[in-house]
Structure 1
Amino acid sequence: MTPRELPVAGARNLFGGALAFKRDQLGFLAENIRRHGDLFRFSPLGVPMVLANHPDHIQHILVDGEERYDKDATIFKVVRPVLRNGLISIADKEQWSRQRRMMAPHFTPRTVAGFAENMTSETVHMLERWERRPRSAGDVLDVTDEIGQLALRIVNRSLFSADVSRAAQAFERAFAAANNVLGSFFRFPFPPLSWPTARRRRLRSAIDDMDHFVSGVIRERLSGEGAGQTDPQRPDLLTLLLHSVDDDGTAMDLEQLHHEVLNLCIGAFETTTNTLSWAFYLLARHPQAEQRLHAEVDQVLAGRVPRFEDLPQLTYTRRVIDETLRIYSPAYQTMRHAREEDVIAGYRIPSGSNVLLNSYLLHRHPEFWPDPDRFDPENFAPERVAARPKHAYIPFGSGRRVCIGKHFALTELTLALATVARGHRLLLPDGAPVVEPEPLITLHPRGGVHLRLVRR
């Protein structure tokens, strides 16, 4: 049977729908799913894109047809000035395979268990700092900013065995600036970032600040100044990466090490900051779910700080995290480049297409998620998970290029949430506005999440 041609979205709009895509990316895609179904093409400013929005499509692109697709796609070209040749965005499959082989042993659940104490102790220190805040500071916390600093302290203590409290905010600001520039450019790629504009200068300054942070820590370790801070019995990730070798005995060079460390900092920071911000916001808006979370934490922990070994018993806590990742995945979109012509669900996918996978929309697909906009941690009860296709839920991607930090992130998110829930609540301030998602390269709570801290 001859493949059908894809329906076209935005064909009658100026620049192939580019202005509508720029104005409201998620709204544009959602509206065209309603009009055309789960597969359609559009070409903002002439860039050929295909949206694929069904679990079968995900299986086909990321798993079964993985050799027919690569990361030489528009969205990764946009972020590559920041991420360079790190695991997140590298397009060369051979180089990616080499890096993944070298790094994967350091991100297994067993290895991550050694970093669990970093996650809980830093969260405890954050809570102690919150409690010491002077009353004049008010009782409303900028939760997104606070969790961002926590995330950077955890990842850098795990990566470098270092206290980076003073540098955390500078790195956070630099990444936020880069994310805004690149998110805006992805939605409307004009003028080119190579042009000498104010936007390009902001991006260059942000990249320089992040590079300065990473290179400084690596330089200190190699010079021996930071070597004494790591426990030989529990080496940090930087030590492990410095001693990693491929099958042929070669190690990664310093430039590649820099790229991978930067990717790890950004990936871990973004996932934790946004997921926990949204989780506390959703719990504040759904007190019954919050009560059930507290009941579990009280029963399992009896007031003590959680440990890695508690994770199998913190089942509802993990469901809260999973449901938050369903509704507001930080990595809410990814993309693949079609290396050759393909057929998906009877439709022709032209060679060279940028195939967009948007989990914000996939995770709201009414065929797999009843009442998809409602926060319901029971969506992740075992019987419901078993009844859904595997690829209806992809917060960390899938296939060979699934996020290497998945176990680290889920461990950190679950332990940090349980640590806070032991003795504290975060409540909506009076008259608090609804927080809307802001789709940049990653998905942010627009304006940040601001909540009141109270003791339980």
Structure 2
Amino acid sequence: MPRTTTPRELPTAGSRDLLGGALAFRRDQLGFLADNVNRHGDLFRFRPLGLPMVLANHPDHIQHILVDGEQRYDKNATIFKVVRPVLRDGLIAIADKERWGRQRRMMAPLFTPRTVAGFTENMTDETVRMLDRWDRRSAADALLDITDEVGQLALRIVNRSLFSADVSAAAQSFERAFATANDVLGSFFRFPFPPLSWPTLRRRRLHRAIDDMDRFVSGVIRQRTEGSDPSQSQSPDLLSLLMHSTDDDGSVMEPEQLHHEVLNLCIGAFETTTNTLSWAFYLLARHPHIEERLHEEVDRVLAGRVPRFDDLPRLTYTRMIIDETLRIYSPAYQTMRHVCEEDIVGGYRIPAGSNILINSYLLHRHPEFWPDPETFDPENFTPERVAARPKHAYIPFGSGRRVCIGKHFALAELTLALATVARGHRLLLPPGAPLVAPEPLITLHPRGGIHLRLACR
């Protein structure tokens, strides 16, 4: 009979605070995890405030957890419990696998590359409108809060694609509300005490933010349902498609579920674009030799015109810049799974009930797969280098059956927006500008925002 190898016990991150490392995790989440990867390797456990956590930080682990053995894991994990008050039963956080499967079947046809092609004009039109506003500013007002500017752009794109409307004024309240929720929930995830059910100032801030986001979503859905039949439009928006999508049995979404999905789409599309484009402009400003290559490609492919969907296959270096930005600063920089039944990963026993933390900020810097990982280098995404790496060394949109449904929309939007700006504009670092550090909330933000100076090419 073949011999079986007894699984090893996971190494445990040491703690001096008697709280399982909770204070160190709260103070510097990324630093705490990076230090323990250096000490213990790509699998280790820690118990902040008694919560059983296991960090998995190798492509083979990711393949096993998200793809090969995904039936042993679900989304009843701590991080999704933290964000569920905001996301509810939308596709991002829904835990029940059967219910998730139904929603995914109904929504997947809305996000194929072919469907996304119908929305790319929204992306470039709104970027051109943003550039026109920038050009009208005086030279004295040319220092831009890029994070805010790109956030407004992202909201206009998602509003136009979702609702076929310019609801920018109302959407700004949505942006502020989400920023509050992200801050509150990010802080709570790092140190989950006191419970959000307690009547604290933090709880009141969160509930006001949720109410503001719900009010925005309810308003646009109500306007649509009280108006004419949107299915008769020749170019239906995403809300129309959601309202008329059906499952295999012909059933449609209940109103509450529709609300949750629209909310999830607003948050997902807004966050991805805002943070990725902000970081991309910052990185290009710090690496002018890479910006020069971007300009060369944009000039050659577009010859001054606005890009179209069918330009995407030829904007290869532009896309490499987006991919490299997502490597270094993925907005969705962490995800988590709950272990439903005991498993063995990498030869180690993973107890049932554990929370598996997958942190792409660390994974995308793994020295085994990324030479000089802190350097911004779009050449990491040449076809040859991509083929030489394990697939799960790079997971900005997750992987497996629960890979982000908006991946094609996001990549088209990011590439086209960057190319549209690069046709005639540059964003430069102001003299003496400090380095911008990442801020790990529920998503990864540039701490303090990114401020750059506008210049025409």
Match of 2:39 in 1: 35
Which letter maps to 2:63? Q
CA contact (8 A) 2:130 2:153 kept: yes
Distance in 2 between the 1:167 and 1:132 partners?
Answer: 24
Which secondary structure state, in structure 2, belongs to the residue aligned with residue 375 of structure 1? Answer: coil
Q: Which moved more, 1:358-367 or 1:231-240?
A: 231-240
Provide, for residues 423-447 of structure 1, a one-character-per-residue CA deviation record: whole Å limited to 9, x for no partner: 0000000111100000000000000
Match of 2:147 in 1: 144
Which secondary structure state, in structure 2, belongs to the residue aligned with residue 452 of structure 1? Answer: strand
Question: What's the offset of the Cα at 1:169?
Answer: 1.8
Residue 54 (structure 2) pairs with residue 53 (structure 1):
no
Which secondary structure state, in structure 1, belongs to the residue aligned with residue 21 of structure 2? Answer: helix
Question: What's the offset of the Cα at 1:234?
Answer: 1.2
Residue 112 (structure 2) pairs with residue 102 (structure 1):
no
Distance in 1 between the 2:53 and 2:393 partners?
Answer: 21
Pick from 63, 69, 87: which aligns with 2:73? 69
Which letter maps to 1:372? P
Question: What's the offset of the Cα at 1:168?
Answer: 2.5
Which letter maps to 2:21? G
Distance in 2 between the 1:414 and 1:366 partners?
Answer: 27
Provide, for residues 208-235 of structure 1, a one-character-per-residue CA deviation record: whole Å limited to 9, x for no partner: 000000000000000007x67x882211
Match of 2:358 in 1: 357
Distance in 2 between the 1:430 and 1:171 partners?
Answer: 33
Distance in 2 between the 1:237 and 1:168 partners?
Answer: 17
Percent identical among aligned pairs is 82
Matches of residues 26-425 of structure 1 in structure 2 within 5 Å? Answer: 26-136=30-140, 138-224=141-227, 232-425=233-426
Provide, for residues 340-376 of structure 1, a one-character-per-residue CA deviation record: whole Å limited to 9, x for no partner: 0000011000000000000000000000000000000
Which secondary structure state, in structure 2, belongs to the residue aligned with residue 368 of structure 1? Answer: coil
Question: What's the offset of the Cα at 1:11?
Answer: 4.0
Number of equivalent positions? 453
Match of 1:455 in 2: 456
Distance in 1 between the 2:216 and 2:10 partners?
Answer: 46
Distance in 1 between the 2:126 and 2:61 partners?
Answer: 40
Distance in 1 between the 2:174 and 2:374 partners?
Answer: 33
Which letter maps to 1:317? T
Runs of 4+ deviating beyond 6 Å: none
Distance in 1 between the 2:252 and 2:38 partners?
Answer: 50
Which letter maps to 1:171? F
CA contact (8 A) 2:7 2:348 kept: yes
Distance in 2 between the 1:376 and 1:231 partners?
Answer: 47
Q: Which moved more, 1:307-316 or 1:164-173?
A: 164-173
Which consecutive residues of structure 1, in runs of 5 or more, have no partner in the other structure? Answer: none
Q: Which moved more, 1:179-188 or 1:5-14?
A: 5-14
Distance in 1 between the 2:177 and 2:144 partners?
Answer: 21
Superposed CA RMSD: 1.0
CA contact (8 A) 2:150 2:277 kept: yes
Which letter maps to 1:303? G
Distance in 1 between the 2:422 and 2:76 partners?
Answer: 42
Which secondary structure state, in structure 1, belongs to the residue aligned with residue 276 of structure 2? Answer: helix
Distance in 2 between the 1:362 and 1:427 partners?
Answer: 30
Which letter maps to 1:46? G
Provide, for residues 149-208 of structure 1, a one-character-per-residue CA deviation record: whole Å limited to 9, x for no partner: 000100110000010121232111110000000000000000000000000000000000
Question: What's the offset of the Cα at 1:135?
Answer: 4.4
Question: What's the offset of the Cα at 1:13?
Answer: 3.5
Distance in 1 between the 2:209 and 2:224 partners?
Answer: 23
Which secondary structure state, in structure 2, belongs to the residue aligned with residue 15 of structure 1? Answer: coil
Distance 1:337 1:394, change over 3 A: same
Which secondary structure state, in structure 1, belongs to the residue aligned with residue 449 of structure 2? Answer: coil
Provide, for residues 101-124 of structure 1, a one-character-per-residue CA deviation record: whole Å limited to 9, x for no partner: 000000000000000000000000
Distance in 1 between the 2:261 and 2:171 partners?
Answer: 18
Which letter maps to 2:101? S
Distance in 2 between the 1:52 and 1:11 partners?
Answer: 19
TM-score of the superposition, structure 1-length normalised?
Answer: 0.98
Match of 1:442 in 2: 443
Provide, for residues 387-444 of structure 1, a one-character-per-residue CA deviation record: whole Å limited to 9, x for no partner: 0000000000000000000000000000000000000000000111100000000000
Which letter maps to 1:427? L
CA contact (8 A) 2:171 2:216 kept: no
Which letter maps to 2:111? F
Distance 1:59 1:305, change over 3 A: same
Question: What's the offset of the Cα at 1:14?
Answer: 2.3
